Amino acid sequence: MKRKLNGIVLFFAITYILTGCQKKDASEIETEIETEIERSEESVSESAQSMTETVADGGDYDFGTDDFETTLSETDMLGAGTSDTETTDLFDADSLGTNSDGAEESDKERSISDAADSFYYTALTDEIKARITGKSYPDTDEPLQISYEDLAYVHVLHYDFQAQIQEGELICNQSVAQDLVEIFYELYENQYPIEKIRLIDEYDADDEVSMADNNTSCFNYRTVPGRTTLSNHSYGCAIDINPLYNPYVRTSGGKEQISPDNAVPYADRSADFPYKIDKNDLCYRVFIEHGFSWGGAWNSSKDYQHFEKVE
Ligand SMILES: [Zn+2]
């Protein structure tokens, strides 16, 4: 429609120049026509841009993250402003690229498309704030290094150890929310096994208990074990994957410490066992591609479950 209007405007502009400005010489007319064409092209381009933004699914909640694909992360201002709990989906239908040639979607493609709807992030709703406050999010008048507004709620799907599809929930820093949605979608597409992804609040924010239960989790306002400094989990910038099989191994007072306690069989990384994260592992590769660093590559200690992205 806008393209049509632009064509009409262009037609009248050229007609006006040709009929109404008889005194101008040919070169002036040519310049004016070129200018009008340029303006018209700009306008068409703007229209196309705004149409792209309009059709983009989700994108209402702009965390200012880097572009993944333009339509994934651009804020759709036209649709914004309904509430502060709008979701940002992983994909709009087109960006999956499964149906770009107009061919009918296969069942598999359709199921991928449906599944993609389950990968999204939102701002923290009051309901989510209530779930985490007094647990992973301290209920205190003391100043914190994080606010609710810094955080995002992430919803994903994943394959468990029985190859069943499960829902997963995470709280993370808004700066890594888009990364996590994309990472977990890639892991899901490849049926990467993750036993459970529950909010650590279901374990009363007790990291040891969560790790011992092999729970994958992200935000938890806490110090580094054995130290007084805040862990990057406190900012929601660090995530632990399948922590039982990928323990935190450090030396303290000349003695090896393994967290969680029941992970001793998995501290020897030369041993062969399932769910082990190493540099050949898909999980490692996907996190690294998204700019995360891996605790298994640290020198002073080894935290094989741990990935973090600190800007
Ligand atoms: Zn960690």
For the ranges 46-60, 139-153, 294-308, which has the lowest average pLDDT? 46-60
Q: Are strands 302-303 and 248-252 parallel, antiparallel or unpaired?
A: antiparallel
Q: Are strands 238-240 and 293-294 parallel, antiparallel or unpaired?
A: unpaired
pLDDT digits 0-9 by tens, 79-91 = 333 345 678 877 6
pLDDT digits 0-9 by tens, 93-128 = 334 333 444 455 566 555 656 789 999 999 999 999
Distance 292 CA to ligand 1 centre (A): 12
Distance 117 CA to ligand 1 centre (A): 28
State how far the Cα of 305 lies from the Cα of 303, in Å rounded to an integer.
6
Distance 140 CA to ligand 1 centre (A): 24
pLDDT at 236 over 60: yes
Distance 43 CA to ligand 1 centre (A): 50
Q: Please list, in sequence order, all residues whose beta carbon lies within 8 angstroms of the beta carbon of residue 304, skipping any fewer than 6 positions away.
A: 246, 247, 248, 249, 269, 276, 277, 295, 296
pLDDT digits 0-9 by tens, 165-201 = 999 999 999 999 999 999 999 999 999 999 999 999 9
State how far the Cα of 306 lies from the Cα of 292, in Å rounded to an integer.
10
Q: What is the dihedral of CA 23, 28, 34, 37, to 10 degrees?
A: -20
Closest to 136 (Cα-Cα) out of 191, 94, 199, 63 = 199
Work out the end-to-end distance of the chain between its first and last CA atoms, rounded to an integer number of angstroms.
44
β-bridge partners, 137:
133
238 near 293, Cβ under 8 Å? no
Indicate the pTM of the whole model: 0.69
Distance 186 CA to ligand 1 centre (A): 21
35 near 41, Cβ under 8 Å? no
State how far the Cα of 103 lies from the Cα of 285, in Å rounded to an integer.
33
Distance 88 CA to ligand 1 centre (A): 26
Cβ-defined contacts of 96-99 (< 8 Å, 24+): none
305 near 295, Cβ under 8 Å? yes
Instruction: Report the chain's mean pLDDT, rounded to a whole number.
Output: 77
